[in-house]
Chains A and B, each alone.
Chain A
Amino acid sequence: MKLSLNEIEATAKRAARGAGYSWGLAEEASKAARWLSNHGQDGVAAFAVLLDKGFARSVDHRPLATDEIWQSDGDLCPLVTGAFLSDCAQNLRCGPVVMQRVALPLLILPFAANAASELRCCVRVEMDGHVAITDGDHLLCPDMLPELAERITVQTSQTTPSWRQCDALMCPDPDSWDRLAMLAHRTYAPATEESRLRGAGAGLSDND
């Protein structure tokens, strides 16, 4: 099915919330899914895998140590870690950020893009030898990224590559889309006759 970016954004937000993330992180997920789709990447598929990992229910997947290498007891969640990277964008001026064991490294890229926009320069993300680069508005990214990156290095880059034109990806993997829709469904309150009448406001006749 061909979707709009708005639909991808809205469903990603609800799905992330349905998977247990806070509203603020769900907002990050929605913008990240939209940004990836708009830059030709299947953010929907990546989120479908991430959200099934159940990372939202444990603190083991957020960076506990951030002094030298960002790491935790478990695999790092790219949504939580990416949001922290975006929040700390200014730190990239002082040197690279190195992360250890990050799930779905593709999902770090929208946050690297945030950092690039904030710093008004290119940001280079190396994931176990795979290199992506973004200036916030463009993305160069290898075709296949691993499901888990042992080591990610994020740093500013002074050289601007020659960007390639890329079409938005409006037809994500259908199974992944269905999965996000199912997770989103968890945020919907079951309908009752009472809510049907009261929740939307019955009031006076609507056929006159």
Chain B
Amino acid sequence: MTPVQPQIPRRDPATMMRLSRLGSLHQCRLSFMRILLRRIARENWQVSRPVFDIDRNGVGRAVYTAKGPERAYSLVVFAHDLPDEKRSDRVIADAWDATFTLFDGVPAEADLERLAENVPLQEAGRISRQELSLSRANRSVRLWTHVVDRLASGQQPDLQQIEAVGYLMRTTAVYGSGKFGAADRDVIADRQEMQVPFQAEMLSVYLTRTFVRDLVNHMAGNLGGTQAVRLDPAIARRLGIGNSTGLGMAPFIVNHPILFNNWMMVREEAIARVRAVAQAAPEDAEIFRQLVKRSVVSTERWQSAHPVQLRKLAGLKADLEALLQYLPDWDAHAQRPWNTLIEWSETSLSEEGQELVASLILEPYGALVDGLASCMADSNADAFRIDGSMTVSAVRDLLQESFGWAQALDWNDPANCARAWYVSEEKLEPRMGERFEEPIADYEQPLAPARDAAAAVRALDAWDPKDTIARFLLNHPEHRHTVRRAQMARVAPYGEIRDNTISASVMPVDMLRAKLSFFGATHFDPRSDRWVRICMYAGAPYPEDLTPDNADLWVYPEAGT
């Protein structure tokens, strides 16, 4: 009889929810774009292009329809001729090279006419319950002209230039979930193919990448005529879609503690399961070894000019060196080899390296971990409701559990509350400012749960511990959001960031990276402490090439490809 293996606990939220850790997360097989591509391949979705009506100047419209077993979704594209001086990834831009919406079904002509009036306006237009996302993209001026010119003259683009940028267009905002009149999440949440978070947005970006490849071929063909060649499929495959993401995304993980908990907890559960595997089959160990080598290639292609990321990248490269040196000694047949590996990484590698290893050990174990994807959505609407019968002392204990560390901070020290999050009148987008230098404190958003928890604990201390929290809240409505979060933590141990989100040294890009890593983004390139560029779907097969055999490991480039 096989002895029962004791479980390996999930890693401690006190470690995982530090900002530096969250800012070191990597994609894994439970990332949203990988979940989507596995499904598209498994279910043999058919992608077609019923409309491609684009003129010589790149102006016009196109429709890409992805048909799954039960439903179809269509990316509706409007391509524009944007003057160079109007091109900006900032949310304050009002014109783009291309604008998109993901239509729920196959659009009729009347739908396209309606969308043509609205989608190019983005935030200034309105879409409807028939639409699931709204987005836009700008060309990379560095790469676009180079590729079009080369193809038009019958040559393939220069690989070094391809590598330096990684994409032909980058999206900025990709709005979903009821924004600007779009369908609410509830409309699609029960559909199997949309149950995992952000599947509509990920599908829109995947189809956008196909459109961009088609457009560059089209433009080069127009320019070069018979001399022009089509983009080499191997080069096309290396190209992803870029994305510029700013502060608008950072509050998301604070504002959705249950949802973000579910992402973190699923990944941690997956890691714990693999760590508990008694012995690694030789082929599974080999997959891991190969992917370490391919991660070296990926890391070499990871460009950034930001000093913090450069330091982290140097650390990651050293980590990979150390891992390659360690692997010959690592015994995949010993007891719990993956656990041994993780424990070694915790003492030998930087956080970047530790998180890469944690993501990589999941790769051989799809059968063990992929099913967890169905636990990543937030279907627990009841968690919003406050249990007012809970005692003051019980709530205090909950706050202590998530924010005990915050009680010791001097919250009056300017360094500890230097920043304030606010929403700008101009674009209704979240921003972060200097509390003591700008007139923003009156507009502060509740994005400092640690400070608020410390204040709530002080107020609770003045109350009878046996009193109910309902009575406390009737007298202290200013602590209501904090008490709600504290109670949510009972079902969401990874729901709270265990760091100060308003300190003088906070790096909001850490919050962005945490979220983007779950999308499946790679090559994080912070452009300041509060906006970041990434790459999505680089290496992924295009729809016509996607099969169950290649739907998974495309994210790890092989040397020379």
A24 and B480 contact, Cβ closer than 8 Å, known pairs A62-B474, A84-B470, A195-B431 = yes
Interface residues of B (CB under 8 A from A): 84, 87-92, 126, 128-129, 138, 140-142, 177-186, 244, 246-247, 305, 382, 384-389, 422-426, 428-429, 431-434, 438-440, 442-443, 446, 468-470, 473-474, 477-484, 508, 526-531
Contact with B along A174-185 (1 / 0, CB 8 A): 000000000001
Q: Which residue of A lies closest to B165 (CB)?
A: A208
Q: Is the CB of A187 within 8 A of B423?
A: yes
Q: Is the CB of B477 within 8 A of A206?
A: no
| Chain A nearest Cβ from B151, distance in angstroms | 21
Q: Is the CB of B142 within 8 A of A208?
A: yes
Measured in the bound complex, the distance between the Cα atoms of B50 and A3 in whole Å is 30
CB contacts (< 8 Å) of B247 on chain A: these are 199-201
Q: Which residue of A lies closest to B508 (CB)?
A: A201
Q: Is the CB of A190 within 8 A of B484?
A: no
A21 and B425 contact, Cβ closer than 8 Å, known pairs A7-B181, A202-B528, A204-B528 = no
Measured in the bound complex, the distance between the Cα atoms of B384 and A88 in whole Å is 15
CB contacts (< 8 Å) of B431 on chain A: these are 189, 195, 199-200
CB contacts (< 8 Å) of A118 on chain B: these are 385
Our pick among A2, A62, A196, A200 for the contact of B530 (Cβ within 8 Å) is A200
Our pick among B141, B182, B305, B473 for the contact of A83 (Cβ within 8 Å) is B473
| Chain B nearest Cβ from A57, distance in angstroms | 12
Q: Is the CB of B531 within 8 A of A22?
A: no
Q: What would 28 A/B residue contacts be, using CB atoms closer than 8 Å?
A: A4-B181, A6-B177, A7-B180, A14-B423, A24-B473, A24-B480, A24-B483, A27-B480, A28-B480, A31-B384, A66-B474, A83-B473, A84-B473, A86-B388, A87-B469, A88-B389, A189-B433, A189-B440, A190-B439, A191-B426, A196-B424, A196-B426, A198-B434, A199-B431, A203-B530, A206-B89, A207-B88, A207-B89
Q: Is the CB of A117 within 8 A of B528?
A: no
Q: Which residues of A from 24 to 48 have beta carbons under 8 Å from B? A: 24-25, 27-28, 31
A185 and B181 contact, Cβ closer than 8 Å, known pairs A201-B531, A208-B142 = no
A4 and B184 contact, Cβ closer than 8 Å, known pairs A83-B480, A190-B425, A196-B92 = yes
Cβ of A192 under 8 Å from chain B: yes
Please list the 10 inter-chain residue pairs (A to B) with the smallest Cβ-Cβ separation, ordered nearest first. Answer: A24-B480, A6-B178, A87-B388, A203-B528, A201-B530, A199-B431, A4-B178, A87-B470, A191-B426, A24-B481
Q: A199-B431, A200-B91, A203-B529 are in contact. List 9 more A-B contacts (CB 8 A).
A: A24-B480, A27-B384, A87-B387, A118-B385, A189-B440, A189-B442, A191-B425, A198-B433, A200-B429
Q: Which residue of A lies closest to B482 (CB)?
A: A24
Q: Which residue of B lies closest to A79 (CB)?
A: B477
Cβ of A114 under 8 Å from chain B: yes
CB contacts (< 8 Å) of A87 on chain B: these are 386-388, 469-470, 473-474
Q: Is the CB of B385 within 8 A of A86?
A: yes
Cβ of A89 under 8 Å from chain B: yes
Q: Is the CB of A23 within 8 A of B90?
A: no
Q: Which residue of A lies closest to B452 (CB)?
A: A23
| Chain B nearest Cβ from A11, distance in angstroms | 10
Measured in the bound complex, the distance between the Cα atoms of B125 and A1 in whole Å is 12
Measured in the bound complex, the distance between the Cα atoms of B247 and A199 in whole Å is 9
CB contacts (< 8 Å) of A167 on chain B: these are none
Q: Which residues of A from 82 to 141 have beta carbons under 8 Å from B? A: 83-84, 86-90, 114, 117-118
CB contacts (< 8 Å) of A66 on chain B: these are 474
Q: Is the CB of A80 within 8 A of B477?
A: yes
Cβ of A5 under 8 Å from chain B: yes
Q: How many residues of A contact B (CB 8 A)?
A: 50
A189 and B179 contact, Cβ closer than 8 Å, known pairs A22-B477, A88-B388, A207-B87 = no
Q: Is the CB of B141 within 8 A of A25?
A: no
CB contacts (< 8 Å) of B438 on chain A: these are 192, 194-195
Q: Which residue of A lies closest to B426 (CB)?
A: A191
Our pick among A4, A114, A198, A202 for the contact of B385 (Cβ within 8 Å) is A114
A206 and B88 contact, Cβ closer than 8 Å, known pairs A86-B386, A90-B389 = yes
CB contacts (< 8 Å) of B138 on chain A: these are 207
Our pick among A2, A23, A190 for the contact of B481 (Cβ within 8 Å) is A23
Measured in the bound complex, the distance between the Cα atoms of B442 and A187 in whole Å is 8
Measured in the bound complex, the distance between the Cα atoms of B476 and A62 in whole Å is 11
Cβ of A78 under 8 Å from chain B: no
Q: Is the CB of A117 within 8 A of B481?
A: no
Measured in the bound complex, the distance between the Cα atoms of B468 and A88 in whole Å is 9
Our pick among B177, B478, B528 for the contact of A22 (Cβ within 8 Å) is B478
Q: Is the CB of A21 within 8 A of B477?
A: yes
Q: Is the CB of A208 within 8 A of B88?
A: no
Our pick among A89, A191, A199, A207 for the contact of B432 (Cβ within 8 Å) is A199
CB contacts (< 8 Å) of A201 on chain B: these are 246-247, 508, 527-531
CB contacts (< 8 Å) of A202 on chain B: these are 528
Measured in the bound complex, the distance between the Cα atoms of B148 and A198 in whole Å is 35
CB contacts (< 8 Å) of A192 on chain B: these are 438
Measured in the bound complex, the distance between the Cα atoms of B525 and A208 in whole Å is 14
CB contacts (< 8 Å) of A196 on chain B: these are 92, 424, 426
Q: Is the CB of A199 within 8 A of B424?
A: yes
Measured in the bound complex, the distance between the Cα atoms of B428 and A203 in whole Å is 21
Measured in the bound complex, the distance between the Cα atoms of B507 and A203 in whole Å is 13
| Chain A nearest Cβ from B303, distance in angstroms | 12
Q: Which residue of B lies closest to A208 (CB)?
A: B142
| Chain A nearest Cβ from B103, distance in angstroms | 16
Measured in the bound complex, the distance between the Cα atoms of B469 and A89 in whole Å is 13
Q: Which residue of A lies closest to B420 (CB)?
A: A189
Question: Residue among A4, A21, A83, A202 with the most chain B CB within 10 A?
Answer: A4
Measured in the bound complex, the distance between the Cα atoms of B182 and A24 in whole Å is 27
Measured in the bound complex, the distance between the Cα atoms of B442 and A190 in whole Å is 11
Q: Is the CB of A206 within 8 A of B527?
A: yes
CB contacts (< 8 Å) of A195 on chain B: these are 424, 431, 433, 438, 440
Q: Is the CB of A5 within 8 A of B91?
A: no
A189 and B425 contact, Cβ closer than 8 Å, known pairs A4-B182, A63-B474, A201-B529 = yes
Question: Residue among B88, B129, B386, B482 with the most chain A CB within 10 A?
Answer: B386
CB contacts (< 8 Å) of B425 on chain A: these are 185, 188-191
Q: Which residue of A lies closest to B443 (CB)?
A: A189
CB contacts (< 8 Å) of A198 on chain B: these are 433-434
Q: Is the CB of B388 within 8 A of A1?
A: no
Measured in the bound complex, the distance between the Cα atoms of B473 and A5 in whole Å is 27
Measured in the bound complex, the distance between the Cα atoms of B438 and A194 in whole Å is 9
| Chain A nearest Cβ from B59, distance in angstroms | 20
| Chain A nearest Cβ from B386, distance in angstroms | 5
Q: Is the CB of A189 within 8 A of B422?
A: yes
| Chain A nearest Cβ from B440, distance in angstroms | 5
CB contacts (< 8 Å) of B181 on chain A: these are 1-4, 7
